[in-house]
Structures are given as C-alpha cells and as structure tokens.
Chain A
Amino acid sequence: MTNIEHVPGREIIEHYGIVTGSTVQAKHIGKDFMAALKNIVGGELKAYTELLNDARDTSIQRMLAQAEGLGADAIVNVRFATSSIASGASELYVYGTAVKLK
C-alpha cells in the first residue's frame, strides 16, 4: 500500500479500479464518560485515539480483502476520509486503486 500514484521501484502492469473499506464507529458510553472528564483538563483522549485506530485498521483490512479478491498485489493512491454521520458516531473511510505489479 502506498499513497502515491505508483510503487517506487516497481512497474504497474494492470489497474483493477477503486477498492474501498469503511467502518462506522460508535462511541462507548464508559469511554465517553472518561473522555468528558478528561475534557476538563485537556490533553490526549487515549480512549478515542484507540477507538479510531481500531476502526481505521478494520477499514484497511476490508479494503485489503477486496483487493485480494480482485487478484491485485498492491494498492496505490490510498486516501483517508473521516465523517461524522450521526452525533456520537463517525465513519472512517479508506479508498485506493488496486493494481498488479510486474
């Protein structure tokens, strides 16, 4: 996986089009409470960082699975997007182009 238009040092011989992965992650009530407390003093909200990290990993796994299904061996031009679709839930969306390398 790279987020540039090619794979350095390798040649792309075939494009398979867009592959995507997305996860909708809701907040956890216990973690939420801790985050609200942490919000008074400021600083890093570790619980949320973890939550979003997990969600991102899941999205990447889903994208990889899709690419493997197509028979690709690399994904180029990977981009991330985060959107809050409802209050208390956010979507982590990742997309890229599946390619075959020489």
Chain B
Amino acid sequence: MERIILFIILIALGYVAGRVAEKKHYSSIREREKNLIHVPAHNLKNPSETDRQVLKSELAVGQIVVSQDYFKRFLAILRGIVGGTMISYESLVDRGRRDAVLRMKESCSDADEFINLRIQTSVIGNNGTSKNGLGSIEVLAYSTAVYYEGR
C-alpha cells in the first residue's frame, strides 16, 4: 500500500513540476533564440561570406544534461507496450539540442558565423528510478566560430 502511495505521489510531483520546468525551459529557449537569430550556424565546411576576410576562428562548444520527469517516464513505459512515436521524449531531446546550440552561440557571443556545427547526444545512465527507460541525456554541440574583418 505504501509503495502505491509513494508511486502516486512521485507521478503527481513529476507531472506538476515537470510541466512547470518544461514550460520555463521552453520560454527561455525561445527568448534566447530570438536574440541570437542573426548569427547563423550551419554545418557547411567553409564560411558563407567568401568576399570578406576572416579575422580569426576558434572552437565553440555548448553542453547540457537534461533529464525526464517521473510522469513522462511512466507514460513512456506505457507507450512501450503499444508502440508508436514517443512525443514525451521528443520534447526532451528537442530541448536539449536547442539549448546546447544556444549555449555554444553564447560562449562566443561576438562571432559572426558558426560553421561546421555538429551535435551529438549520449545517454548518461538511468538513475535508479527506472529500469529500462533513459534517465537523462547529454547533448554536446560544437562548431567553429568565425570572426570577419571590418564589422
């Protein structure tokens, strides 16, 4: 009986707090994306403005670890039974990737362009609470920041 109560409490807590956290995270991501939209980031090998001299270039890295809430993890287990797309997990990786790219841009805030962007994701352990679902993911975004001459 106690275990069931604990389980329900965890689900409820996960649902309420998880929703609030996700909303907050998304609004912060949108805000920052708006501020940085003028700096292009792409995965081409060369700077796009070929007529301008490159002043310098450096490596830019952004990293984040995000985890899923208890409620969504429970949903995912149910989803695993019937199959289909796991929308609850799509939002997790989406948040992670967008934030990692933003952090990368913020680490070199004066750069004019980010070229050869790479994003990689890795699972870093399921922290006890679930046996089969993924607990948290690490997203690493890196690229070359290019500074043009005569800005």
Chain A residues within CB distance 8 Å of chain B: 1-5, 7-9, 27, 32, 35-36, 38-46, 48-49, 52-53, 56, 78-80, 82-84, 87-88, 90
Q: A43-B18, A87-B125 are in contact. Are A8 and B67 (CB under 8 A)?
A: no
Chain B residues within CB distance 8 Å of chain A: 10, 13-14, 17-18, 21-22, 25, 45-47, 53-55, 57-59, 61, 63-70, 72, 92, 99, 115-116, 118, 120, 122, 124-125, 127-129, 135-136, 138, 140, 142-144, 146
A3–B124 Cα distance when bound, in Å, is: 24
- Structural contact, B124 and A90, CB atoms closer than 8 A: yes
Distance of A31 from chain B, by nearest CB (Å): 11
Provide a sorted-by-A list of 14 A–B residue pairs whose CB atoms are within 8 angstroms. A3-B118, A3-B142, A35-B127, A35-B136, A39-B70, A40-B10, A40-B17, A41-B13, A44-B25, A44-B99, A45-B136, A46-B65, A48-B138, A84-B122
- Structural contact, A42 and B22, CB atoms closer than 8 A: yes
- Structural contact, B65 and A8, CB atoms closer than 8 A: no
Interface of A is mostly: mixed
Complex interface: chain A residues within 8 A of B144 (CB): 2-4, 8
Complex interface: chain A residues within 8 A of B66 (CB): 42-45
Of A9, A78, A84, the residue contacting B124 (CB under 8 A) is A84
- Structural contact, B22 and A56, CB atoms closer than 8 A: no
- Structural contact, B57 and A7, CB atoms closer than 8 A: yes
A7–B144 Cα distance when bound, in Å, is: 9
- Structural contact, A82 and B128, CB atoms closer than 8 A: no
- Structural contact, A39 and B63, CB atoms closer than 8 A: no
- Structural contact, B115 and A40, CB atoms closer than 8 A: no
- Structural contact, A42 and B59, CB atoms closer than 8 A: no
Distance of B58 from chain A, by nearest CB (Å): 6
- Structural contact, A3 and B17, CB atoms closer than 8 A: no
Q: A32-B127, A39-B70, A42-B67 are in contact. Are A4 and B138 (CB under 8 A)?
A: no
A85–B142 Cα distance when bound, in Å, is: 23
Complex interface: chain B residues within 8 A of A82 (CB): 120, 122, 138, 140
